Amino acid sequence: MNTGYNFAYLDEQTKRMVRRAILKAVAIPGHQVPFGSREMPLPYGWGTGGIQLTASIIGPDDVLKVIDQGADDTTNAVSIRRFFARTAGVAPTTRTGDASIIQTRHRIPEKPLREDQIIVYQVPQPEPLSRLEPSRAETRRMHALSEYGLMHVKLYEDITRFGHVAISYDYPVMVNHRYLMAPSPIPAFDNPKLHMMPALQLFGAGREKRIYAVPPWTDVRSLDFDDHPFRAARAPHSCGLCGATDGYLDEVVVDDRGGRLFVCSDTDHCETRRAAGHTGADALAAE
């Protein structure tokens, strides 16, 4: 563990400031709280918001899991895990069930989370209305007035044009019947997991300087219409390695003749299943 820096890099005053923002965010579910985001030694857009959240809540006894695209071994997940190993000396894990804090980019683990866990999302763009209204002064006003007609019109236009909503990730949700929220670029498949999750969900956007939260057991609805209910899509296959049919799948190109292999995006989910003896159709070829 590197000395010369404070535990988990940030100084205690900064952590206190971040924690105050977290408390406010928890008190107003789905509301974006501006905070004095610091320059981190990792680039903006690479998880600085999530890192500041994790740094502010982590203690020496915590067990940290970091995933990117559902996997523990993607390079940026490795880099962030190393950052905390270096600055906080905490125990890392790849097992979802063993972690007390899970920092994630673009996925929610398949294994349901518990009340004693916290999931920290890295958020590139916290403003769900950003593609419809570029001015933050204006979107702030729209949130204050719960004026979300613009987003409903966008969904309606998708349906008239394509027959269904054409948003496949970062699908907007309504939190606690009040605030429209960007769930970060998780696939829409993961959206139902946000609803009534026992774990505390924290969202950090470093570059945009916003923190927001979904407290445990909070109502989170993906936007839809009565006659066009929300549908969570996944590739219509089973995992080639573990045979899972319930999880989100990555599509791996295996040759230049159109060969494809579908495997679990959640690497811990896949490994746990294989350790329990489950196999998929391509397991032998892959070994």
Partner 1 sequence: MAYVAVKGGERAIDNAHAWLAEARRGDTSVAEIGTAQIAGQLGRAVDRVMTEGSLYDRELAALAIKQAQGDLIEAAFLLRAYRTTLPRFAHAAPVDTAAMQIRRRISAVYKDLPGGQVLGPTYDYTHRLLDFSLLGEAVPPPAPEAPAAAANMPRVTDILAHEGLIEADGAGGKEPGDITREPLSFPAERDVRLQSIARGDEGFLLALGYSTQRGWGGSHPFVGEIRAGDVSVEITPPELGFAIDIADVTLTECQMVTQFKGSKTVPPQFTRGYGLAFGHADRRAMAMALVDRAMRAEELGEEVTAPAQNVEFVLYHCDNIEATGFVEHLKLPHYVDFQSELETIRRMRAEAREDAA
Binding site for partner 1 (CB under 8 A): 5, 9, 11, 34-41, 43-46, 48, 68-71, 73-79, 82, 105-107, 124, 135-137, 162-164, 166, 168-170, 185-189, 207, 209-210, 233-235, 240-241, 248-252, 254-255, 261, 263, 265, 267, 282, 285-287
Burial of 169 by CB count in 10 Å (0-12 exposed, 13-18 middle, 19+ buried)?
middle
Smallest gap from residue 189 Cβ to partner 1 (A): 7
| Cβ proximity to partner 1, 218 vs 282, nearer residue | 282
Instruction: Choose the catalytic residue: 47, 50, 70, 242.
Output: 242
> CA 170 to CA 17: how far, in whole Å?
28
**Does 30 qualify as catalytic in the annotation?**
yes
Smallest gap from residue 241 Cβ to partner 1 (A): 8
H or E element at residue 87: helix 75-87
Q: State whether residue 17 is helix, strand or coil.
A: helix
Instruction: Choose the catalytic residue: 49, 240, 264, 280.
Output: 264
Burial of 206 by CB count in 10 Å (0-12 exposed, 13-18 middle, 19+ buried)?
buried
Between 48-57 and 12-27, two packed helices, what is the crossing angle to 10 degrees?
Answer: 100
Smallest gap from residue 171 Cβ to partner 1 (A): 9
**Does 163 qualify as catalytic in the annotation?**
no
**Does 70 qualify as catalytic in the annotation?**
no
Smallest gap from residue 249 Cβ to partner 1 (A): 7
| Cβ proximity to partner 1, 176 vs 235, nearer residue | 235
- Torsion of Cα atoms, 253 then 244 then 216 then 69, to 10°: -10
Instruction: Choose the catalytic residue: 47, 49, 50, 239.
Output: 239
**Does 258 qualify as catalytic in the annotation?**
no
**Does 259 qualify as catalytic in the annotation?**
no
H or E element at residue 211: strand 210-214
Could you give the residue numbers annotated as active site? 30, 239, 242, 264, 270
